[in-house]
Amino acid sequence: MQNTDNSAGGGVTPPAPSEPTVAQFAVLATLDTKAPEAAFVAELIRARGHQVKIIDVGVMESSTITPEVSKEQVMQAAGIDPLTLLKLRRDQIMETMGRGAAAILRRLLDEGGLQGVLAVGGNQGTAIAAFAMESLPIGLPKLIVSTVASGNIRPYVRHRDVAMIFSVADLLGGPNTITRTILSNAAGALVGMAEMGIPMGRRSNRPVVAVTALGNTNSVVTRACDLLEELGYEVVAFHASGACGSAMEELIDEGLIDGVLDLTTHELVGEVLGDDIYTPTKPGRLEAAGRKGIPQVVAPGGLEYFCFGPLETVPAKYLGRPIHHHNPYNMNVRATREEMERLGIAIADKLNRSHGPVTFLLPLKGWSVIGAPGGVLHDPDANRGFIDALKGRLDPKVRLVEIDSVINDPAVADLAVRILHEQLSSRAAQSRSR
């Protein structure tokens, strides 16, 4: 069913012709309103020779079809009975049904009976499906056909690799001239993902290093990535836009990352201070590597400013500060000394809990293009608040290395890579000696 990863370079080996493998899929829907659509996509998938379990996540009227997993079974998996469920608020009902569906999907996955999930729904069904899919690992095909997919879908997708297709017409009354094509495209997409995908975790034989990036730290990140590749590492870059950072933390917890070059820790601005549009989708940024005990080198890239959308979206309390107009849809607003102090304390506390080798690399002259000397957000005094707070809080076991340059200086990339390479080499040597 799946292609394999080329161990020499992480590429894809074309599959040899063979008989198709039977896959097992789940279709989620509120069958009190979306039964015809659920049955339609299930039959399309079955026609391709695969197996499908329809899971009913509705709570109101009876369904016109008989699902493989009933709504009562979903409620039971959530640990609640129907009468108690209906006494909850509407949002609590959706979350509960999502939790029950998640438990069922996880069980199917653990038993080896799940290669992908497709959901069809309106606003409520999409919310339930999103709750359920959040329990599934990154890499497992997940697809939602939704009436709300043309709007702001981040609350639904969060940091998961969930694909969403806008239904164009309402999912009401069964497939029609419009939705029939949309739904068939979705069924084909899900089957195609399962047939063509490379299982997450099937890696090359190179150690994997995660690197964090933003446009304002592009120079240091690009050089560091090149150096790591030259040293034989496989590099996975994560854009420090909130969702990517949360995904990185989860992948570290899952054991897919061997070392972290966390050059761009901007997402801590949103997690610690709030307001920032790049807030992680779940708390815990800068914690997974410490929990796992893997080597990490951390720097304050992009830490000195907030990110907002267009100028009219910047809260009034920030308008008196220096602002960099990054583009028409993105404003960068300078953080104050007091805010930088809070960041210094928070980062020190997180790194102090690390169980493995950790180095904080501190460029002294600026942590982004716009925060460097001459940049509109350059503020040495505010940065000093961060430095003093960090130094005052950091445990001696955390190595602190200062360098008299801006973060985008090539020397910073060279030093960061050298330190991480030393940590990873030492860890590998220890593993071999055991």
> Do the beta carbons of residue 264 and residue 225 sit within 8 Å?
no
How much is the pLDDT for 199? 67
> Do the beta carbons of residue 234 and residue 209 sit within 8 Å?
yes
Between 150 and 397, where is the model more confident?
397
How much is the pLDDT for 202? 58
How much is the pLDDT for 36? 95
Interaxial angle between packed helices 218-230 and 410-433, expressed in degrees from 0 to 180 and rounded to the nearest 10: 40
How much is the pLDDT for 425? 95
- DSSP conformational letter for 20: P
**Tens of pLDDT along 152-179?**
878 878 888 899 999 999 998 899 999 9
How much is the pLDDT for 60? 81
How much is the pLDDT for 3? 38
Tokens 């339609």 identify what position? 40
What is the token pair recorded at 31? Answer: 């069958």
Distance CA 333, CA 325 (A): 9
Between 19 and 255, where is the model more confident?
255
How much is the pLDDT for 8? 38
- Predicted confidence (pLDDT) at residue 17 exceeds the cutoff of 70: no
H or E element, residue 181:
helix 179-196
Distance CA 139, CA 254 (A): 12
How much is the pLDDT for 20? 52
Q: How confident is the model at residue 18 (pLDDT cuts 50, 70, 90)?
A: very low
- Predicted confidence (pLDDT) at residue 324 exceeds the cutoff of 80: yes
Between 418 and 135, where is the model more confident?
418
Tell me which amino acid residue 340 is.
Answer: M
> Do the beta carbons of residue 206 and residue 7 sit within 8 Å?
no
Mean pLDDT of the 390-413 span: 98
**Tens of pLDDT along 105-159?**
999 999 988 999 999 999 899 999 999 999 898 889 999 999 988 878 788 788 8
How much is the pLDDT for 201? 59
Mean pLDDT of the 349-376 span: 97
What is the token pair recorded at 313? Answer: 């979206």
Q: What is the CATH superfamily name and number for domain 21-196?
A: Uncharacterised protein family UPF0261, NN domain (3.40.50.12020)
Let me know if the fold of 21-196 is the same as that of 208-433: yes
- Sketch the domain layout of the chain as residue ranges: 21-196, 208-433
- Predicted confidence (pLDDT) at residue 213 exceeds the cutoff of 50: yes
- In 318-385 the beta strands, taken as DSSP E runs, fall at 323-327, 330-334, 358-363
What is the 3-state composition of the chain as percent helix, strand, coil, each rounded to the nearest 5?
Answer: 40, 20, 40
DSSP letter string over 88-100? S-HHHHHHHHHHH
How much is the pLDDT for 200? 61
How much is the pLDDT for 155? 80
Between 200 and 228, where is the model more confident?
228
What percent of the chain has pLDDT above 90?
80
- Predicted confidence (pLDDT) at residue 290 exceeds the cutoff of 60: yes
CB contact set of 76 (below 8 Å; sequence gap of 6+): 100
Sheet of strand 208-213, all strands in order from the earlier edge strand to the far edge: 234-239, 208-213, 259-262, 296-298, 358-363, 399-403
Average pLDDT, the chain: 91
How much is the pLDDT for 379? 97
Distance CA 50, CA 141 (A): 15
Taking the domain 208-433, which CATH number applies? 3.40.50.12030
- Predicted confidence (pLDDT) at residue 12 exceeds the cutoff of 80: no
- Predicted confidence (pLDDT) at residue 432 exceeds the cutoff of 80: no
**Tens of pLDDT along 35-84?**
999 999 999 999 999 999 999 999 887 778 999 999 999 999 999 999 99
CB contact set of 339 (below 8 Å; sequence gap of 6+): 273, 382
